[in-house]
């Protein structure tokens, strides 16, 4: 979209919405937001120099995520969404409760993507953190696929069970899937990884098909068709880009001061800590029209 600076629209440098991810996965969420909100300005940061986060110690994930959020704040984001389950599960609470209030970044906020996903999985608003009828009696089986760090954080089962204490939550690590997607491995190879993840999950449920399955890694919507192929038809897939865009709409309706000038002032900005040429090339797998990435420190 053309820059409208000449049309006398007040475009504040701090009016951008930031999305942070360890690499390319957050592009699935970023794209959904850019397309859903044509009047907003967006900036993305992929920490490709340090991807994947999923196998890193928690303290490293917290430090890297905080550094990424600060880069986005410095570049003009007032609100940053962690478009990464690993970063959200491991770092969101620390950043929101401990770091941000003590930092110099007043008037800014950091959001994660677990809350909207849990809301969708439990049909319960995030603010309602005690079981209420009818969810009190909900005995559904809910599957969560994610990285090692997301699964070992137990954030999804804990948050789901606060709202649906009788639900069964079954978690499955999909090791190597992020790397296979980031490196564009052949479909047959990726398919085998997804199949082994689904087989692992079904072994845990004793063959009982889950009612819902959360693709709890922002890379996984790229291979949603493979999860669909291997999961029983009965299982409803919860894919985050749409869920997060819906929830974000609701958030902005309640906090319109984060929405900016009301007209998109610039092409979405994409930053990477990696090699911008290679990252843009791989980014096309995630989003055919992806704008060029720029290098950031």
Annotated active-site residue in 11, 89, 174, 217: 217
CB of 119 to ligand DGL, least distance (A): 17
Annotated active-site residue in 11, 84, 164, 174: 84
**Phi, then psi, of 143 in degrees rounded to 5:** -95, 145
- Which helix (H) or strand (E) element contains residue 16? strand 16-21
Q: Mask: binding to ligand DGL, 202-221, rule CB under 6 A, as x and -? A: ---------------xxx--
| DSSP per-residue codes, 168-235 | EEEEEE-TTHHHHHHTT--HHHHHHHHHHHHHHHHHHHTTPPPSEEEE-STTGGGGHHHHHHHS-TTS
CB of 22 to ligand DGL, least distance (A): 3
Size, binding site for ligand DGL by CB under 6 A: 17
Pick between residue 87 and residue 142 the one whose CB is nearest to ligand DGL.
Answer: 87
Among positions 122, 135, 138, 147, the unique one binding ligand DGL when judged by CB under 6 A: 147
* 84 catalytic per annotation: yes
Distance, in Å, from the CA atom of 46 to the CA atom of 295, rounded to the nearest integer, reads: 10
Q: Mask: binding to ligand DGL, 46-85, rule CB under 6 A, as x and -? A: -----xxxx-----------------------------xx
* 164 catalytic per annotation: no
**Per-residue exposure over 220-230, b if at least 16 CB sit within 10 Å of its own CB, e if not:** bbbbeebbeeb
Q: Does 193 bind ligand DGL (CB under 6 A)?
A: no
Among positions 65, 71, 86, 272, the unique one binding ligand DGL when judged by CB under 6 A: 86
- Asked if omega into 52 is within 30° of 0 (cis), the reply is yes
Neighbour-count burial of 206, counting CB atoms closer than 10 A to its CB (0-12 exposed, 13-18 middle, 19+ buried): exposed
Task: Give the active site residues.
Answer: 84, 217
Residues engaged in binding ligand DGL (CB under 6 A): 21-23, 25, 51-54, 84-86, 147, 150, 178, 217-219
């Amino acid at each position: 979209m053309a820059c409208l600076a000449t049309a006398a629209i007040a475009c504040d440098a701090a009016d951008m919405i930031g999305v942070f991810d360890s690499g390319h996965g957050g592009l699935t969420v970023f794209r959904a937001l850019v397309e859903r909100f044509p009047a907003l300005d967006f900036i993305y940061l992929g920490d490709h120099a340090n991807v994947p986060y999923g196998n890193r110690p928690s303290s490293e994930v917290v430090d890297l995520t905080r550094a990424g959020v600060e880069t986005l704040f410095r570049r003009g984001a007032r609100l940053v969404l962690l478009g990464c389950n690993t970063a959200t599960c491991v770092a969101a609470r620390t950043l929101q409760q401990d770091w941000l209030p003590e930092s110099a970044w007043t008037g800014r906020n950091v959001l994660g993507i677990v809350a909207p996903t849990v809301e969708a999985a439990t049909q319960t608003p995030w603010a309602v953190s005690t079981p209420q009828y009818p969810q009190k009696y909900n005995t559904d089986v809910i599957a969560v696929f994610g990285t090692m760090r997301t699964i070992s954080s137990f954030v999804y089962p804990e948050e789901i069970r606060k709202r649906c204490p009788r639900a069964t939550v079954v978690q499955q690590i999909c090791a190597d899937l992020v790397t296979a997607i980031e490196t564009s491995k052949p479909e047959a190879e990726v398919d085998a990884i997804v199949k082994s993840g689904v087989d692992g999950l079904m072994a845990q449920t004793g063959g009982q098909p889950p009612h819902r399955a959360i693709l709890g890694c922002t890379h996984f919507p790229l291979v949603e068709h493979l999860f669909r192929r291997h999961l029983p038809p009965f299982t409803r897939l919860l894919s985050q880009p749409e869920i997060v865009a819906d929830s974000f709409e609701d958030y902005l309706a309640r906090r319109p001061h984060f929405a900016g000038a009301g007209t998109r002032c610039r092409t979405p900005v994409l930053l990477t800590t990696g090699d911008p040429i290679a990252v843009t090339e791989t980014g096309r797998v995630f989003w055919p029209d992806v704008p060029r990435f720029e290098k950031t420190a």
